[in-house]
Amino acid sequence: MEIEKRFSKMSKRMKSSIIRELLRDATNTSIISFGGGAPDPETFDREALAKLSQGVLLDEYQISLQYGATEGDPLLKDELIKILEERHGIKGLKHGNLLITVGSQQALDLMGRVFLDEDSYVMVSHPIYLGAASAFRAYGPKFITIDLEDDGLNIDQVEKALKELDSKGEIQKLKFIYTVPNFHNPAGVTMSLEKRKALVELARKYDVLILEDDPYGELRYEGERLPDIYYLANGENVILLNTMSKVMSPGIRIGMIAGDEKIVAKAALAKQGADLCTPTFTQRLVARYLQEGTIFNRIKSAIEIYRKKKNIMLDALQKYVNVEGAKWTKPEGGLFIWVTLPEKYDTMELFEEAKKVGVAYIPGSAFYVDDRVSSSFRLSFCLPPEDQIEEGIKRIGKLL
């Protein structure tokens, strides 16, 4: 059978991800990998989770080993609502405003499923989180790309693009503006308060949705916490995605969508067809863990680990990358540093050379929805041990 001919249009739009390939390299111990965004396993609270697992399995087996509601475990929703209220100032959320997902990656896919058609537009930053680009691309929308600056999206470009769509009578085809306001993946930058407010104003004026994706907000190493876009907009026209992946464990695969009840209900319908429900065991485990109230202490120690690693990487870049015109972001949090070299460099080409000297990063071109050559690359400092961070950057410096 010529199987290729049987595949759907959607499946043909799916491309193999360089990140997946790099994750394969990351397991090769001879390579120092600054590739994937996998958290440092030392941050995982394994003893507490092992203890709680016992009770969740033995005492709550009728829930934790059974099918659950597609919408999610009510106990977990209670805990998440509490956190959103106490730490994010978001009040008045009900269970109907939350959907528990298999990581925020599933949330991104569900947003694609419920909003995007082939004639839709999505507005995204350039560079963009690769996983969001692949999730949306599968549904065939047109991307409107907005430059990312040191303080977040270029708001003038956003406004211009909105005006243009509006004047063509196509504003309703713009399904959402996707943004990662805190410690952007891959760029490391954070959207300023002024820009957050301006974005909320624009979304209101043109009546468009903002899809706010915030996996890294709790991982702040310096500076002041900024309010969520969702908070600033009073929840109006904003959908908020969050996840336990970077602050607790990515293997547990718990994420969430918070937003208008109608959107959440539609996403739940889409989720039903995908997987019936998020694993009930990990949902209940996370609920019990959050009830213990120790997660924020744990995050504090993770912050210590990551701040140190980030500073080691920044110092090493300063010391070893002596290329005129090279620059890099100095993130206040999150897991990534974005390095930009002079234009003559093609970091995809360089990537093969880097592997030969035993170091890996993600070439910048992976984070653009067009086929550009990029002189940037993403470094993540979360996974390699401290001594390897310096050694890896030294190798990159020498190669350059």
Ligand X SMILES: Cc1ncc(COP(=O)(O)O)c(C=O)c1O
Q: How far apart are CA 300 and CA 220, in angstroms?
A: 9
Nearest to ligand X of 198, 241 (CB atom): 241
Q: One symbol per residue from 164 to 183: x for binding ligand X (CB under 6 A), - otherwise; what is it?
A: ----------------x---
Measured from the CB of residue 250, what is the shortest distance to ligand X in angstroms? 5
Residue of 37, 112, 141, 188 that binds ligand X (CB under 6 A) = 37
- Rounded to a whole number, what is the largest CA-CA distance in the chain? 63
b/e burial code for range 266-303 (CB count within 10 A of at least 16 → b): bbbebbeeeeebbbbbbbbbbbbbbeeeebeebbeebb
Task: Give whichever of 44 and 320 is closer to ligand X, judged by the CB atom.
Answer: 44
The one among 53, 105, 237, 380 contacting ligand X by CB under 6 A = 105
Nearer to ligand X, 215 or 392 (CB): 215
The C-alpha atoms of residue 112 and residue 102 are separated, in whole angstroms, by: 15
108 or 263: whose CB is closer to ligand X? 108
Of 321-380, binders to ligand X (CB under 6 A) are none
Specify the stretch interacting with ligand X by CB under 6 A; choose among 59-67, 103-111, 150-158, 379-387.
103-111
Least Å distance between CB 267 and ligand X? 15
**Closest CB to ligand X among residues 24, 160:** 24
**What separation in angstroms does the CA of 206 have from each of 126, 151, 166, 278?**
22, 23, 8, 35
SS3 283: helix
Which residues in the 259-318 window bind ligand X by CB under 6 A? none
Which listed residue (45, 109, 212, 213) binds ligand X by CB under 6 A?
A: 213
Tally of CB atoms within 10 A around 158: 24
User: What is the C-alpha separation between 103 and 244, in angstroms, rounded?
Assistant: 7
Minimum CB distance to ligand X smaller for 46 or for 91? 46
Closer CB to ligand X, residue 213 or residue 332?
A: 213
User: Across the beta sheet with 142-149, what order do the strands follow?
Assistant: 98-101, 255-258, 238-243, 210-213, 174-179, 121-126, 142-149, 152-153
Question: Which of residues 39, 127, 131, 188 is near ligand X by CB under 6 A?
Answer: 131
- Backbone torsions φ then ψ of 337, nearest 5 degrees: -120, 135
Considering only 104, 182, 278, 376, the residue that binds ligand X (CB under 6 A) is: 104
Do residues 359 and 31 make contact, with C-beta atoms less than 8 angstroms apart? yes
Contact 179, 210 (CB under 8 A): yes
d(CA 128, CA 249): 23
Q: Taking CB under 6 A as the criterion, which residues in 224-263 touch ligand X? A: 243, 245, 250, 255
In the complex, least distance from residue 5 CB atom to ligand X, rounded to whole angstroms? 32
Q: Quick one: which of 121, 129, 231, 367 contacts ligand X (CB under 6 A)?
A: 129
Residue 112 CB, nearest distance to ligand X (Å)?
13
Question: Nearest distance from residue 19's CB to ligand X, in Å?
Answer: 9
CB atoms within 10 A of CB 20: 11
Cβ neighbours of 154 (radius 10 Å): 17
Given candidates 185, 249, 283, 380, which one binds ligand X under the rule CB under 6 A? 185
The residues facing 176 across adjacent strands are 122
By beta-carbon proximity to ligand X, the closer residue of 232 and 248 is 248
* 134 interacts with ligand X by CB under 6 A: no
**Residue with Cβ nearer ligand X (144 or 211):** 211
Contact between residue 314 and residue 337 where contact means Cβ atoms under 8 Å apart: yes
Angle of helix 295-320 relative to helix 280-292, nearest 10 degrees, comes to 100
Angle, CA 250 vertex, CA 244 and CA 256 arms, to 5°: 35
Closer residue to ligand X, CB minimum distance, 22 or 321? 22
Q: Which residues bind ligand X (CB under 6 A)?
A: 37, 103-105, 129, 131, 180, 185, 213, 215, 243, 245, 250, 255
